Structure 1
Amino acid sequence: MAVQTSLPASRTHGENKPPVDTFHLGAIVRAHRPLAFCAAAMVVLAVLSGVGLVVDQRLVQGEPVWLKPFKFAMSFALYAITLAWMVSRVQRWRRTLWWLGTVTVAGFVLPEISAITFQAVRGVRSHFNFSTQLDSTIFAVMGGAAYLGWLMTFALGVFLVLQRRVDRSMAWAVPLGIAVSLAGMSIGYLMTAPTPDQAQAMHTAIKLATIGAHSVGGIDGGAGMPVTGWATETGDLRVAHFFGLHALQALPLFAVVLQSLARRFETLRDVTTRAGLVIVAALGYAGLTGLLLWQAQRGQSPAHPDALTLTVGAALAAAVAILAAGVVVATSRAIRR
């Protein structure tokens, strides 16, 4: 059901009936224009950055200079439109959520993407760059914006959790998605810590141009995968950061898919079954994020997992499959009784 259009969102607090889990673009825009327009702006920036990838041949540490703005713009577009969708479905604290979303756009997304794009125009690195006072200031601004973004996402999550929902599976998907996403965001802070070599140099009072890294067991700028740029010769913290961050979209989307499949599969028509499967999926997603983080911290590239990583991954997949089967069997028996 779409959000009512007769009154602004701030004046319809608690007046709508609980909406179904659909993606209604008009309702999303009306519910939170700053987030919706932010998502649209990020799509435009992604397109412009894509053009830059073609016409601008400059490289920064072996990567095309416009690759980072492109990736961050796409990620922020998903982040903003997902939050706007969640806000469009709430019944309580709509004004509070509107302000939290607006602060997220103004204090987190815009400063972060502006700094990244500005450094790309200059042809220098945006992250971990302490080459000049300007670079240090820009990175400090990005760090402050990231902290604010984490806090705003957490606050939004609290108010989103305390909502009445039509479907219990979505009631689980939203908080679990936010929780795993916050954990994924937190991995970014591990990248800002000095590497062992940098820490040793800092003890000798050497002024460093770079402090922090996303690579483990090597230096940033080595061989990387196409498009993502993830390291193929060393560990890369960005992989776990990426997967964890996008639990915010993955788990609610999984709940929506289960709702759609319930029309065809009788087993999924029971809300308890769908809720249980969402919980299992969240555990599996969190486990995968943890596995990728563990792999990176061992200095191992995601492109070349060793036998131990593959064994743990297989055990995780088996555990998820067994738990999912257990949920289906247990709820089916309960329904028959």
Structure 2
Amino acid sequence: MTVMAVVSAVGLVIDDRVLAGAAIWFKPFKFAVSFVVYALALAWMLTLVTRGRRVGWWAGTVVAVACLAEMAIITGQVIRGKRSHFNHATPFDEALFNAMAVTVVVLWTGTLVIAVLLLRARMADRAAAWAIRSGVLLALVGAAFGFLMTQPTPEQRAAGNLDTADVIGAHAVGVPDGGPSMPLTGWSTTGGDLRIPHFVGMHALQLLPLLLLALISLAPRFARLRDPRVRLRLVQVASASYAALVALVTWQALRGQPLVHPDGATLGAAALLVAATAAGGLLALRTPRGDRRPGPRTGPAPGHHPGPDPVPGPSPVPDPKSDSTETKELVT
């Protein structure tokens, strides 16, 4: 995948062809980079599996093979100058797209198996367990949005020629694919785009564990972060907020609204999400009541009034003559 990322980057420089409104090598470049990051995260997570390691190894291998197969089809179509996704122009193009759909299902299923193994794994650090498990589950949700893109759009259904259409499915909502888009990401700036929740959800796999690593690295400088319970609560807040963010961008995309032009409802929901996240973070950083116990006493006990400090020096030695004189006086 790293090699394919490099090849695609070179293609972006030397090949000026444009397909569906974007540089023709842009799609394989994005997919190659995404697969590299995705595979590295899953490979690390598989080292944390304590039961079913062999099953995990096979699941990871299946995911890697599925990624390679999908990249081979995408790159092959680029070389041919054809669309890889949603292409039904010829029986061959349709067969390739159907093969890609199979690789996506296999990839998703392999990730699901790894997620189950991680849910069953014994992890000493509860914050790490929460970050990893939440990340892989949200990644599964994000990957599932790919299935929505393969369905015919309302405009395609209204045209009534699905049996002979060259393109069935789209990532844009409310506008045709290939219109004005954001730089780097290629997300639509005139309509909704299902690639946004797809991207945000899948990359929870890396971002939530990275958040935990950041908290651990900051712990020597901030005393509150040294408490594993505080880190756990912060990771829980972050996981819930991330899930809400995935839901928000999905809702926005399905309404045909571009990410960069939110309406009042979207802005209001985003403000509530930010406020809830901030409040949750502050509550997570508070010291629990059970931990607010007074330290040991170092001063004198109540009611004790110490006299002047004794003069340091050797203890006095009793004088036997003095004792005998005092005794005689008492007897007299």
Instruction: Report the counterpart of residue 216 of structure 1 in structure 2.
Output: 173
Per-residue displacement from partner, 1:180-207 (whole Å, max 9, x unpaired)?
11110111111111011211234x5651
Judge conservation of contact 2:138–2:204 (CA < 8 Å) in 1: yes
Aligned pairs (5 A) from 1:239-278: 239-278=196-235
Q: Does 1:147 align with 2:105?
A: yes
Q: Does 1:234 align with 2:224?
A: no
Tell me the SS of whatever aligns to 1:285: helix
2:290 partner letter = A
Distance 1:183 1:103 in 2: 19
Per-residue displacement from partner, 1:306-328 (whole Å, max 9, x unpaired)?
22211110110101111111122
The match for 1:55 among 1, 11, 14 is 14
Distance 1:205 1:69 in 2: 27
Q: Does 1:135 align with 2:93?
A: yes
The match for 2:147 among 166, 189, 192 is 189
2:292 partner letter = R
Judge conservation of contact 1:267–1:332 (CA < 8 Å) in 2: no
Under a length normalisation based on structure 1, what TM-score does the superposition of the two structures give? 0.84
Percent identical: 48
Instruction: Report the counterpart of residue 302 of structure 2 in structure 1.
Output: none
Shift of 1:161: 2.0
Instruction: Report the counterpart of residue 309 of structure 1 in structure 2.
Output: 266
Per-residue displacement from partner, 1:124-155 (whole Å, max 9, x unpaired)?
11110000111101110111111111111111
Per-residue displacement from partner, 1:268-294 (whole Å, max 9, x unpaired)?
111111111111101111111111111
Judge conservation of contact 1:161–1:174 (CA < 8 Å) in 2: no
Judge conservation of contact 2:12–2:24 (CA < 8 Å) in 1: yes
For the pair shown, the structure with the greater C-alpha radius of gyration is: 2
Instruction: Report the counterpart of residue 286 of structure 1 in structure 2.
Output: 243
Distance 1:322 1:249 in 2: 24
Aligned pairs (5 A) from 1:101-112: 101-106=60-65, 108-112=66-70
Instruction: Report the counterpart of residue 297 of structure 2 in structure 1.
Output: none
Shift of 1:225: 1.1
Judge conservation of contact 1:214–1:237 (CA < 8 Å) in 2: yes
CA shift in 2, pair 1:324/1:214, >3 Å: same
Q: Does 1:83 align with 2:52?
A: no
The match for 1:98 among 38, 57, 61 is 57
- Count of aligned pairs: 293
Instruction: Report the counterpart of residue 289 of structure 2 in structure 1.
Output: 333
1:335 partner letter = D
Tell me the SS of whatever aligns to 1:118: helix
Structure 1 gap segments, 5+ residues each: 1-41
- Let me know the Cα RMSD of the aligned residues: 1.3
Shift of 1:332: 4.1
Distance 1:252 1:205 in 2: 43
Under a length normalisation based on structure 2, what TM-score does the superposition of the two structures give? 0.85
Shift of 1:160: 1.6
CA shift in 2, pair 1:272/1:314, >3 Å: same
Distance 1:259 1:115 in 2: 41
Instruction: Report the counterpart of residue 73 of structure 1 in structure 2.
Output: 32
Distance 1:67 1:216 in 2: 21
Shift of 1:92: 2.9
Judge conservation of contact 2:48–2:118 (CA < 8 Å) in 1: no
